[in-house]
Structure formats: structure tokens, C-alpha cells
Chain A
Amino acid sequence: MKTDTAAAGGHPAPGAEKYYIRLNLHERVQHHLTWSTFVVLAVTGFMVEFPEEWVAPLGQYRDIVFYWRGILHRVAAVVMVLNMFYQAGYVFFTAAGRGYLRDMLPRVKDLREAGQNMAYYLGWAHAKPLFDRFNYKEKLEYWTGMIGGIIITVTGLFLWFQEYFPKFIFDISVLVHTMEAILASSAIMVWHFYEVHLKPGKFPMSTVWLDGKISEHELKEEHPLEYERITKGASSV
């Protein structure tokens, strides 16, 4: 992992905070593509379920809105799927990506850490477990997102090319696509938005998604094992 400093020119000012790269450029681009398409897909998707009273204020522009809703939903879906391929290419064919995937793989210790963390929340333990690069929360989000993404893509394709499949496949796809969308949207709201926006100390938001940098004390606090690994390697500036 590369390191960076807050001061310009790469010379650390006395007392200045040291920064580490948490998300490299590939990962940031992937995140930007994911969140932007997700927002478009959620809005244009749930528009179908809006009750009549919500649609009425659109007046005579209703059908134009509906037309573009369909186009936008498909365009965003294609971009999201291409982004998934981009991610797959990244995690399999680049060294940084392989490292990312390796650190993201679920392990038994995640379950143990989850238990320890609950004990800490409830005041039964005095300290948080020592997390590595990705903790169980991040792993849960990553893998549920991945599985959900595949399910929603497959059902979405069945809906898009409905003429070529039996009606029963269509019925299942409508149901699963909608339910998966509700699940994903609420999970993002509760799990992700709390973690990066609402959590005390993060509010109004963590800036990692913009510049990819995490401060030394945050890294030490949240990913102590990773910090230890980096500093022990002594490759940091």
C-alpha cells in the first residue's frame, strides 16, 4: 500500500497527519460507477411502483417521463453490468486486485470478530476486536452486493427479453427483481449510509470515496492489523 502525506510536495509538515491509500484509482472509479448507476436504477425502478397520486403531478409529461424512465433504467443497468465485468477483470488480472479479493474473502475469524464486536457493543468486552483490511461489515456488504447484483442482472435480462422465455419465468423475475431491489436499497440505507455518513466521527461523510485516502489514526483505529502489517513491512515513507 502506498502512503501519502497531507502536506503539498510530499514533505510532511511537522505534526501533519500521515495518509494511506485505502481505495486506489481503479477502486474509486468502480465505486463511482456503482453508486451512480445504483441511484439511477433505484429511482427509475421504483417509479414503476409509485401510486397514482404521485404520478398525477407530472401532468401531460407523464408518458415522456415514463419513456425516458425505461431508457435510463436500461442504460444504467448496462453500465452497471459492464462495471461488474471491470471489477472481475480488476480482481483477477491485476496484482492490486488479487490482493483486494484475497483480503475480502470471508474467513472464520470474521464470525468470531462479529461476536466479539457485539460483546463490545453490549459492554461485555472492553475493546473492539482487531480488524484487518476489511472487517466483517465490509465483507458482508461486498458479498451480498455481489450476489444481489448477479440475481438482479439475471432477472433483469429475463424481463428485458421477456418474449423469449415462458410467462412463468417472467412472473418469477418480476417478483425477485422487485424484492431484490427493496432488499438492496434498504441495506444500503441502513448498513452503508450509517457506516460512511451518519456514524459519529464520520458525519457528514467519510472522504475516502473521493480521494481514496485514509488518515493514519483512522487506519490504526479501524484496521489495526493492516496498519501493523504495513508499518512492519517498513515500506512506508
Chain B
Amino acid sequence: MSRRSLLLFLLLLLFCMSSRAYAVDEENCLLCHRYSGLGRIDKEGRKHLYYVNESLYNQSVHAKVRCGECHTDIKGFPHGTVKKVDCAAVCHLVDPSSNTPFSHAKMIEKFELSVHGRGPKDKPKQHAEDLPTCTYCHDNRIYPPVSKLAKQEQGIAREILDRCRGCHTRDDWTNVFYYHFTERLNQRRSSKRMVELCTSCHEDEEKMARHNIKTVGTFRDTFHWQAIKYGDPNAPNCITCHAPVGYFSHEIMPKTDLRSAIYKDNLVRTCSNQGGVQACHPDATPSFAQGNIHPAQYKTGFYENKADALLRKREIEKGQMKPFQTLLGQTLKVAAGDQRYYQNIILLLIKYFYMVLIGGLIGCMIVHQVLDYFATRRELRRVVSKVL
């Protein structure tokens, strides 16, 4: 066989193999992108992978969206460098509820005005590169097969899916829609995954200091986290308190904003979580709902992190003072941060007191018992030798 005919044969084979891909992939992008080795290393040494796993993609939320709907700048084949996808683009899918072309634009608009957004286009925030983009949180999850889901969760069953199939005869479409609805009725991520997602930025001390906020490192010292660790369905994750009933995760506001669920006057409502799925603290009082929910830094020592110190300084500058009752009955005006700081020191002193007490007392006890052991053995030997 000549080299040319071999090449032709291989090309033919390639086309035959990709026949299944043609059915979904109208634009024939998978002709190239189905190969797992497809990728490059750029000048900075970063790896780019261009491989698309067809079967996984077909189970993803965007399974019914053609490549060109998001990658709008690709007009022909072969194509050059491709721009990043704009999630606010209008795609050719028609939203059945309004019969208009579908877009995430509205969501993004709200998001950009939230604490996580980049702010208005003409006046972006400082260090905007630290802020999450759509795909940072939305990793375009893959729907697990129905059989697996049906075993795991109540209410998801083949019988129900069969009811849909009565009218919606195309299985691939019905499956995707069914998944969409059943998924959205549930929490998208497990609480543990949610905490992992949020803390991937919020535990980064440098990043948080750039934005003048505290890290949430000590969330893992709370009882809330202990319950999450055990998979308690009632356990609150980040979203439960920062976007409770009546709030929206894409519209989280800074805690100084009236629209924030953790604004000081909204805290009682947030802790009581009336009307929420989870039963929280229905009897919450204002004094219960104040203070550090992610506990004070006493676990890490007297050291006050940069963000804490800065926050305290700003509170003093702005004159955000609180009455503070001393043990002697005097009422002082202190900054909220000062109160936290002094409470922290009290907690630390208690902690060190106990550490010395435990170390000292148990240490002495061990020494005492070791001495007792040898003395008792000595005594027993003496008694035995006397008897003998």
C-alpha cells in the first residue's frame, strides 16, 4: 500500500469512527476535539487542554447547546486563537417560559453588583482579578446516570421520568430536562463541597487582606462545621446564612449593606431562618445573633491578622462605637472591633489557663503514679520475701 493510500484509508477510518459524533455535533467540532491528546503549552508554560469528552459533555447542563453558541468568534475551520466565552451571550436556545432567546445576562448583571462582582463596567473594583468568574463556581457539573440517582435520592424515579416520556419522546432531551428540574429542586452541592468552594478563596489570607476582609479559617472550629462533617442535612453551610430565604447567592452583599443577610439588623432573622428548609435557631435573640459566628481567632494565638487590625482601625476612624459594660459597672464607648479584640484576649487567657492546668496537673499525676508504681512493687517484694 502506498503512503498516500494508507493516509486516505486512515482518514476514512477516522470519519467512520466519528459517525456517532455527527449526530449531536452538527458543527463537527469533535472531528478534532475528540482526541484526548489535543492541547498545547503556551509561552508562559501553561498547559491548555482542548479535549472534549463527548459522552461526558452530553450529560452536562449544556448538552443541548452547540459549540458555536458560546464560542461565537469561531466562524470557520481551521480556527485560530479563541476568545474566552462570555456567559452573558444570547444563545439560540429558546426559553420555553418566555419564548425568547436564552441568556445568563440577567443573572450576571445582578452578580456584578454583588460583593463578588467586578462592579460597574466603567468603574471596576480594585484587585478585580481576585474575584470569581462564573466558571469558578459553576464547574458545569455532570449529571450522574439515572440508575445511580434513583438509588441515592428519594423522589427521583424511573416511573416519574416515564410520565414525561409520554409526550416528550426524545429520550436525550427528556433526560436532560428531568435532571435539570430535579437537580435544581435540591441543593446543588453538598454542604461540605460548598464550604470547600467558598474557603478556596476565603481562607487565603493574602487575598482577603487585599480586600480588607477577614479569613473564615476558623469556620472549621464551629459546631456548624462539625455537623457538616457528619453530613447532617440540617447543618448550615456558607450559603445557608449568607443567602438565606429571601436572599440570593448571586446577590451577596457586604455585611455593611442593608441588603446583606448578615447586616447587623438582619442577623436575628438570618439565625432564626423562618421559612427555611433547615431548622436553625427559631428563638434567636439580638444578643445571641451578635459576635463572631466564625469564632474569634483565639485558636491561633494573640496574633491579630492584618485584616482584623485594619477593620478595627477603620471602625475607630469612622466612629462606629458600641457601649461596653465593664465588670466595674462603667459603660465605655469602644469600637466593635475593640470589643472583639478584648473578648479574644479573655478567651485566650482562659485557654492558656486550662493548658497550664491540664499540663501541670496531669503531668504531676503521671509522676506521682509512676513513683507509686515502683514503691508498691518494692513493698510487694518485701512482703513476699517475708512470707517466704
Contact = CB atoms under 8 A, between A and B. Distances in A.
> B interface, by DSSP: helix, strand, loop or mixed?
helix
B291 A62 contact: no
Given A63-B231, A175-B347, A167 B372 contact: no
A164 B291 contact: no
Contact of A163 (B226, B288, B290, B373): B288
A187 B288 contact: no
> Interface centre among B233, B283, B287, B293, by most A CB within 10 Å?
B287
Q: Which 4 A-B pairs have the closest CB atoms?
A: A167-B291, A66-B230, A179-B354, A121-B371
Contacts of A186: 358, 362
A191 B365 contact: yes
Interface residues of B, number: 45
Interface in B181-207: none
Interface string A209-233: 0000000000000000000000000
24 contacts: A52-B229, A55-B230, A63-B233, A65-B230, A66-B227, A66-B231, A66-B232, A69-B230, A118-B368, A162-B288, A163-B284, A164-B283, A164-B285, A166-B287, A167-B291, A167-B293, A171-B296, A172-B346, A183-B357, A190-B369, A199-B372, A199-B373, A200-B376, A201-B380
Given A65-B230, A199-B372, A199-B376, A172 B288 contact: no
Contacts of A122: 371
Contact of A200 (B233, B298, B357, B373): B373
Interface string A39-72: 0000000001110100100101011011101000
> Interface centre among A55, A168, A172, A187, by most B CB within 10 Å?
A168
B351 A120 contact: no
A152 B260 CA distance: 37
A166 B347 CA distance: 14
B376 A171 contact: no
A65 B292 CA distance: 28
Interface string A184-210: 001100110010000111000000000
A164 B288 contact: yes
A214 B26 CA distance: 91
Nearest to B271: A163
Contacts of A130: none
> Interface centre among A121, A179, A187, by most B CB within 10 Å?
A121
Interface in A147-175: 162-168, 170-172, 174-175
Interface of B: 223, 226-227, 229-233, 281, 283-285, 287-293, 295-296, 298, 343, 346-347, 350-351, 354-355, 357-358, 361-362, 365-366, 368-369, 371-377, 380
A142 to B, nearest CB: 15
> A interface, by DSSP: helix, strand, loop or mixed?
helix
Given A58-B230, A60-B231, A199-B372, 17 more contacts: A50-B229, A52-B229, A55-B230, A62-B231, A66-B231, A121-B371, A167-B291, A170-B291, A179-B355, A182-B354, A183-B361, A187-B361, A190-B365, A194-B369, A200-B373, A200-B376, A200-B380
B232 A63 contact: yes
Contacts of A166: 287-288, 290-291
B375 A121 contact: yes
Interface of A: 48-50, 52, 55, 58, 60, 62-63, 65-67, 69, 118, 120-122, 162-168, 170-172, 174-176, 179-180, 182-183, 186-187, 190-191, 194, 199-201
A65 B287 CA distance: 32
Contacts of A179: 350-351, 354-355, 358
B381 to A, nearest CB: 10
